[in-house]
Structure 1
């Protein structure tokens, strides 16, 4: 069974999260107090791996509505997490073995968890088809089937079979098969089967770290009474993965046998950690078992004591795990947990709450690599973060934004809508978007180091226009922007100078494509004369438009750009035209400035116009470049000249 979609309602800060899709990896991004942990805890309750976890009405129902719980839910039952699941091939085969082939009307099932009640399931079973398949499986002939001719459900069939004065051998076999179904229902039988096969949800947070020093006697006693701390539980997971137990370590009769077990566990986890931990490769894990010393603090002053120590080969010293950085201790604990999880947990779905929060940014990237390479092949993973380094670079489609929404349309009465989850990053506030923006900025900065050929432009709309039009040209077999170029937005012409100065010593092949307006001319000339870049590699939009001043937008045919702006703002045809735009600002020939001026004269309820608005629309609707009218062909011709000029700078 594979989880595909979730909706959380009436749980802590969440009134209705909205439905959101879940893939192999799902990253929930949001600022502190947005409700990310609440979303994970709600999902966890569907099938918790921790037997002690269950919803609590007082703790989990939205506090502002708690006094009205019975009024809102007369049956004392409130749904929390509705989850959609896709049956996998082995699930379908198991159901067919139980009920017959083609009995399920859909491979999608729905499981809903509740406060005040267990889970409810929605499974669509064709009972008439089920009766037919079960009759065929047990060899009922025409006469046998005749007694069941009027039944419509499997339960009716069971009642009819039980009421027959005499039953044939085939009828008896059919009756006995149906009697194995709970209440004689194929739906309940399917639920019982799938309930055993559904994944559990394994939840862990950034707070959980392995204990570095363990009294084996005390831990055995805690284990007996079910009072094991989370740190000690991770230590037990580690021992189980290593193939031993605290009892075996405590009662080992042979010293060499004990040493061998400890060294084997140490070597294995060392190899695993340092395949991913890139912060320091001179470390090794050591596990020591010694007798407690009288001067040590209880309970470490008697009996066998297990200590995890970290050896630094450079400094030739070992220190207790507890004295290493909080980030390393967490990373070690995380890997120890999941080494054991892969061994014992089956198809668990992993819920990670702010993983790696204490890690350095580079170490967070290591952690993300571990998740993708080691966990994803066998488990679905849902995790929360507000760190840009934990945003999956190549899987932005798996990012969901989490926001605690308050509607301030009426400032006197703000409406609290609670935590929402969405894949639409354009609908959230700047603080929620910060990890995504920082991640993209980091990726861009990194590209300046690793991209041999860097094309510097002023803003994100320039990137969109160049990429979309390049693809349109390439689709026609014409010249687009060579893929060797890495396009880097700098944030404006003023910053092109800084970017160029900063990275000119890195042996990069750089070129610039920028706007050219009244205030830009001296800046462009200064850049061309600076020797930072060869002057011919500083291109302006005016070089290709035959206009004294031009933005990137002027590479478009004016009629095409006006139509694009019109569509992007959702206006009626003819609201924005070349003639109206030109009349709105006769002092400039720059089309984007003219459209900007025209939009200021439109009704107040007209959507705001910004440079990126048409770019975003073109990104979503690239097919508008498929036409053959003059406005499209003129646009493509002009951009092709730009691309040919830029491509000529490549070796």
Structure 2
């Protein structure tokens, strides 16, 4: 199956030009777009939803009377007066040997010998919307990089393949080849935030001033039917049956008569199948997401007609607990969100084809625990071979092991690090940029506001505060990350735990708690001025025995005047430089240690550094055992 290696976006709303790899060093199945409010995260995901393989439901969002208005909104914001050019969403696609075999077969089926060498390893697929004076003209799909060469006759003389003229009955093998690649690419399935506003009535046919959310849910219902064997179709097996009966009867009392007709039973059968399929998939997966039984017993899909709206048929969702029936649009925001999410994901991925899910701020309506459960759901979705892109500004939605596939989204026209950004107005045109998390941190480590959610997530290490074993208090998060990494390699002798503070003088509360609990503990500080001062203060204020509050020099005289950074050998510092474009300062070291701990990276710290730290830990353990 071909793989999308890179996306590029040009002239899409506030994006002048942005591109990002997601199969660079490792194969990422879950990508996180991190950014502050108004940074452009939604714009990035919306752009991707317009790619060549945008699925039917995405397209339904903006079909009909909304199409022209929507497409006009895609042009660059600062060029809305007179934009001449194209809005483009493209990707670099890598072909496998099997993909090449399929293309060769397309030509051989027509008795042509294709030179396999003319099939590239990479192709570019592009969806472009063309404008003249800000008026939308047309959209085009482009495929670049494939120029087939045919080997003629016994001599295998190479000649360029000539495509047939438009209107010709001859098969265009170039089109057939690129279609074979397109059909294997992931469908783009976009889950915008407004989907939690589930319509009370989902009208089952197009109508004047139809809202995008109605079209969307109508398409979702069809997705459910598509997952059921039998070729069921809303238009054919529901809408047409009702409208045909109404036309045949042609009386004001046609609807009561319909309830006595066999067509009514046929329509009911369609909705029974819808209800059964949704109940099985949504409620079954709901229980797996929350890891506990659910009170709901059935998701019911009912139907009726709206006499005040030209007798249009509509569907409604309700949930039953076995005794009572509740309309889903009347349930809590969190309930509606998860219902929509499960309905969306289960039936988008049921067709056997890989799907690239695009979730815009999925945690916006969820509490912290639900956000954690949502992350677990993303992992399950990705294990099925699908890909997940999601945007967030919540630290609860940051998974450290996915940081290799994380990106910072920023709007260069807004300075969030300025003290007066909330009240300042900039005339700078909107320009949304997408930068890999690692590159952003390496190149702009002082712009903390953009990756603050990541820092908060990496620095909150709940396991360090759990357990009944002896504790070692260290000055800060860098110390914690280094010592905890080595301690895990040592299989945590004696159940020892590392507890971080926020500086040499910040450990008072931890000491108080440990003393009140009668817990064994040691305090390990840098052997600098601040560390020595803090040691004396802790001893005096808490009347600590000898050997409780220690600096590095108290542990080993050769470490006099040393800090944590001095325990790190040159080999590990070189790894930090390789990861952060030649930089290995305290901030880069902190980020590096946090990442290797969060991802359990093998050989993240060199043997000499491991020996330095493990010797200290063993001495501390032996001291607490006496």
Question: Any idea what the Cα deviations from partners look like across 1:537-592, whole Å, max 9, x if unmatched?
Answer: 544222135389745248559xx89x979x98xxxxxxxxxxxxxxxxxxxxxxxx
Q: Hey, what's the Cα distance between the residues in 2 that align with 1:454 and 1:273?
A: 39
Task: Give the superposition deviation at 1:5.
Answer: 1.0
Task: Find the counterpart in structure 2 of residue 377 from structure 1.
Answer: 384
1:287 aligns with 300
Residues 582-627 of structure 1, C-alpha deviations (whole Å, 9 max, x = no match): xxxxxxxxxxxxxxxxxxxxxxxxx999744566699999999989
Alignment equivalent of 2:404, drawn from 390, 397, 401: 397
CA distance in 1, matches of 2:310, 2:515: 59
Which of 96, 104, 111 aligns to 1:96? It is: 104
2:272 is the alignment partner of 1:266: no
Instruction: Describe the SS at the equivalent of 1:272.
Output: helix
* Equivalent runs, 1:329-344 vs 2, <5 Å: 329-344=336-351
Shift of 1:482: 6.4
**Alignment length (residue pairs):** 544
TM-score by length of 2: 0.70
Distance in structure 2 (CA, Å) of the matches to 1:505 and 1:232: 61
Instruction: State the distance in 2 between where 1:400 and 1:306 align.
Output: 39
The answer to whether 1:641 aligns with 2:608 is no
Give the aligned partner of residue 17 of structure 2.
16
1:386 maps to 2:393: yes
Aligned residue runs from structure 1 range 357-506, under 5 A: 357-406=364-413, 418-423=431-436, 424-426=439-441, 427=444, 429-442=447-460, 444-449=461-466, 455-463=472-480, 466=483, 487-501=498-512
Q: Say whether the 8 Å CA contact 2:459–2:477 is kept in structure 1.
A: no
Whole-Å separation in 1 of the counterparts to 2:94 and 2:531: 57
Q: Does 1:194 pair with 2:194?
A: no
Partner of residue 48 from structure 2, selected from 43, 49, 56: 43
Change (3 A) 1:376 1:533: farther
Report the equivalent of 1:169: none
- Equivalent residues of 2:31, 2:402 under 8 A apart: no
Q: 2-side partners of 1:59 and 1:551: how far apart?
A: 59
Aligned to 2:122: 108
1 or 2 for the larger relative contact order (CA 8 Å, sep ≥6)? 2
Following superposition, the deviation at residue 263 of structure 1 comes to 5.6
TM-score (normalised: structure 1): 0.67
RMSD, aligned α-carbons: 5.2
Deviation at 1:405, TM superposition (A): 2.2
Structure 1 unmatched ranges of 5 or more: 71-76, 160-177, 569-606, 628-632
Match of 2:144 among 114, 122, 142: 122
C-alpha deviation, 1:33, in angstroms? 1.1
Q: 1:386 to 1:550 in 2, by over 3 A?
A: same
In 2: Cα distance, 1:418 partner to 1:317 partner = 52
Q: Distance in 1 between matches of 2:185 and 2:31?
A: 19
* Residue 308 of structure 1 pairs with residue 315 of structure 2: no
Offset from partner CA, 1:169-200 (integer Å, 9 cap, x none): xxxxxxxxx99552xxx655532432343333
2:254 paired residue number: none
Gaps of 5+ in 2: 108-113, 131-138, 240-258, 418-423, 597-601
Give the structure with higher Rg (CA): 1
Aligned 1:209-358 pairs, distance under 5 A? 209=196, 211=198, 213-214=200-201, 219-222=203-206, 228-235=214-221, 237-238=223-224, 251=263, 253=265, 261=273, 262=275, 265-277=278-290, 281-287=294-300, 289=302, 306-311=316-321, 318-344=325-351, 346-358=353-365
Could you tell me which of 16, 21, 27 is aligned with 2:32? 27
2:7–2:21 contact (8 Å) kept in structure 1: yes
Looking at structure 2, the residues matched to 107 and 619 of structure 1 have their Cα atoms a distance apart, in angstroms, of 37
1:82–1:110: 8 Å Cα contact kept in structure 2?
Answer: yes
What are the Cα deviations for residues 435-480 of structure 1, in whole angstroms up to 9, with x where unaligned? 21222234x1354237967543222332465578899xx9xxxx89
Q: Per the alignment, in what secondary structure is the counterpart of residue 493 of structure 1?
A: coil
Cα 1:317–1:503 shift into 2, 3 Å: farther
8 Å contact from structure 2 (residues 49, 190) kept in 1: yes
1:494 deviation in Å?
3.4
User: After alignment, is 321-330 or 243-252 more displaced?
Assistant: 243-252
Counterpart of 1:546 in structure 2 is: 557
Structure 1 counterpart SS, 2:431? strand
